Amino acid sequence: MDQVVNQDIKQTLNFIGGKYRPSSSNKTFENICPVDGSVASIVHEADKADVDAAVKAAQAAMKGEWGQMPLTKRLDLICNLVDGINARFDEFLAAEVADTGKPVSLASHLDIPRGAANFQVFADTMKSHHGESFKQETPDGAGAIHYTSERPKGVIGVICPWNLPLLLMTWKVGPALACGNAVVVKPSEETPQTATLLGEVMNEVGIPAGVYNVINGFGPDSAGEFLTQHPGVDAITFTGETITGEAIMKSAAVGMRDVSLELGGKNAGIVFADCDMDKAIEGTLRSVFANCGQVCLSTEKMLVERPIFDEFVSRLKEGVEAMKVGVPEDKDTNMGPLVSLEHRDKVLSYYEAAVKEGATVVTGGGVPDMGDELNKGAWIEPTIWTGLADDASPITDEIFGPCCHIRPFDTEEEAIEITNDSPYGLATSIWTENLTRAHRVAPQIEVGLTWINCWFLRDLRTPFGGSKQSGIGREGGEYSLEFYLETSNICVKL
Ligand code: NAD
Ligand code: 6OD
């Protein structure tokens, strides 16, 4: 859309070289709040020239003060970002809630605190990080010493999704900066505000201009593609859909740039008859419906051992029907809207497909009536199905909505086979009080993350990522540093 700047509505600009800038081609688009369809902000879409300016600003930062800065000073500045975000906690919270519609109770406990904590964790990881050395014997008896030397990769392109916008962005920007890189961030077009606001905090704490840049816009033929195709970008880190990951990998192949990809999933929850039923129900209510089901780790396929199948279905139904779908500010709200009407259309297409493909709708299945003021929002009912065949599309495809199918199983082997029968391999949750069984089953599941008697319990030092079509590489602690540092070996003949 060509721009007519309406100064009454908040403007979301690009952040390039430490300054906020409108789009140089004057293109803007509306950022819609999914709670009621109102305009949360007008976003300035970066064109090729803006992306080029951002990459050049990042390159200049690497050649300037940032590239020369002693490690301790760099890490101190990064730690100051935590205080900087916390000092403006309410602004970050309001921006995240306006963009996503998620409950304030969730964003204030997860998105914003984790968004800040990611900087601390990677500053700490970098502080204790060390290289390796090897002593080698040589035929002349004098020997040689080898040691690793590390340097930042350079300019990192950071492309982010909309489901946990600040958290997933700083999960990449934190380690990238701790390792001494400069970044150009492309937030999702649906949720541009917190990444953009973070630019102010970068300036407040004294991160040099050009180290952190934000370009707003879409993917194909817009800021996302312009960024991944820019030859000045040395490596690309991406979280989003598998199909987008494939497109980004193709762009990255030109110039042989490194990629880190955190992609989609179709995650199973396996509930054995020997589980603690209360824990399994409570955990499953979270793993299916938290963030309106828009978590890559959500369990959309529940497998429940036959002797407890009926009880599990009826207790999960009871739990869902007790959940409150409501506005973000209401303290009792458990679930907000989906991120957009467009995404709701996609999720509803699976609700329809489930019925057509023979599902029994245990609860939900439609759009709730939220009243006149809210009906323009992207509201949807939390939904449970049973009775679908294993190859039905709601069972095989990632839906990314508040829904799950529950299927009975009879043996451990069957549960493992059904779980692994997927092109994805991100996460699984196993519910059993038999620890021998838990340890036997967990390593057989072809995923990057397995939780036993819990879900989304995070220690940020541990490897995080997916196998198969759920991603390439691992993030977290030292695993992130591996991606953001270029390692060389130096050999000294004694
Ligand atoms: P998406 O792939 O549609 O978009 C993600 C980002 O990529 C956006 O910023 C978008 O503008 C950009 N983009 C799109 N096409 C592009 C292109 N051709 N070149 C460059 N950039 C492009 O994903 P989404 O809808 O924002 O997020 C939901 C998806 O993300 C789900 O599949 C979910 O499973 C996945 N996800 C995965 C993880 C994980 O850790 N594995 C975490 C969160 C979300
Ligand atoms: O907790 C994290 O570090 C992380 N990357 C979570 C991803 C959630 C996906 O939606």
The tokens 């869902």 sit on which residue?
A: 320
7 Cα to the center of ligand 1, angstroms: 30
Ligand 1 centroid–CA 157 distance in Å is 14
Nearest CA to ligand 2 atom 9: 296
The CA-atom distances, in angstroms, between 414 and each of 404, 407, 438, 446 are 19, 12, 15, 14
- The whole-angstrom separation of Cα 467 and Cα 456 is 17
Per domain, the residue ranges of the chain are 5-263+471-493, 267-459
> Got the DSSP string for 159-174?
E--SSSHHHHHHHHHH
State the pairing for strand pair 267-271/299-305. parallel
Distances from the Cα of 108 to the Cαs of 10, 195, 294, in angstroms?
22, 16, 17
Q: Are 193 and 95 in contact (CB under 8 A)?
A: yes
Any ligand 1 atom below 6 A from CB of 294 = no
> Does residue 122 line the site of ligand 2, with CB under 6 A?
no
Range 267-459: architecture per CATH: 3-Layer(aba) Sandwich (3.40)
Is the CB of 399 inside a 6 Å radius of any atom of ligand 1? no
From 275, 296, 403, 404, the catalytic residue: 296
Element holding 158 (H helix, E strand): strand 155-159
Verify whether residue 296 is a known catalytic residue.
yes
What distance in angstroms lies between residue 181's CA and the mean position of ligand 2's atoms?
A: 22
What pLDDT does residue 8 have? Answer: 77
- Walk along the chain (494 residues) and give the pLDDT tens digit of each residue: 333 445 679 999 999 999 999 999 999 999 999 999 999 999 999 999 999 999 999 999 999 999 999 999 999 999 999 999 999 999 999 999 999 999 999 999 999 999 999 999 999 999 999 999 999 999 999 999 999 999 999 999 999 999 999 999 999 999 999 999 999 999 999 999 999 999 999 999 999 999 999 999 999 999 999 999 999 999 999 999 999 999 999 999 999 999 999 999 999 999 999 999 999 999 999 999 999 999 999 999 999 999 999 999 999 999 999 999 999 999 999 999 999 999 999 999 999 999 999 999 999 999 999 999 999 999 999 999 999 999 999 999 999 999 999 999 999 999 999 999 999 999 999 999 999 999 999 999 999 999 999 999 999 999 999 999 999 999 999 999 999 999 999 999 99
Instruction: Verify whether ligand 1 is closer than 6 Å to residue 162 (CB atom).
Output: yes
Our answer on whether the CB atom of 340 is closer than 6 Å to any ligand 1 atom is: no
Token pair 């499953």 is found at 284
Q: Which residue's C-alpha comes closest to atom 7 of ligand 2?
A: 296
- Asked if 446 and 461 touch (Cβ cutoff 8 Å), the reply is no
| CA distances, 136 to each of 124, 150, 487, 492 (Å) | 32, 21, 19, 10
DSSP notation for 62-127: HHSHHHH--HHHHHHHHHHHHHHHHHTHHHHHHHHHHHH---HHHIIIIIHHHHHHHHHHHHHHHH
Give domain 5-263+471-493's CATH architecture. Answer: 3-Layer(aba) Sandwich (3.40)
Ligand 2 in contact with 214 (CB < 6 A)?
no
d(CA 425, CA 139): 48
- pTM for the full predicted model: 0.97
Nearest CA to ligand 1 atom 15: 219
Q: How far is the CA of 188 from the centre of ligand 1 (A)?
A: 8
Residue nearest to atom 26 of ligand 1 (CA): 161
Site to substitute for ligand 2 among 167, 239, 292, 483, most atoms within 8 A of C-beta: 167
**Could you check whether 5-263+471-493 and 267-459 share the same CATH topology?**
no
- Residue 281 Cα to ligand 2 midpoint, Å, equals 22
Q: Do residues 168 and 239 touch, judged by C-beta distance below 8 A?
A: yes
CA distance 260 to 258: 7
Cα–Cα distance between 413 and 270 in angstroms, integer? 12
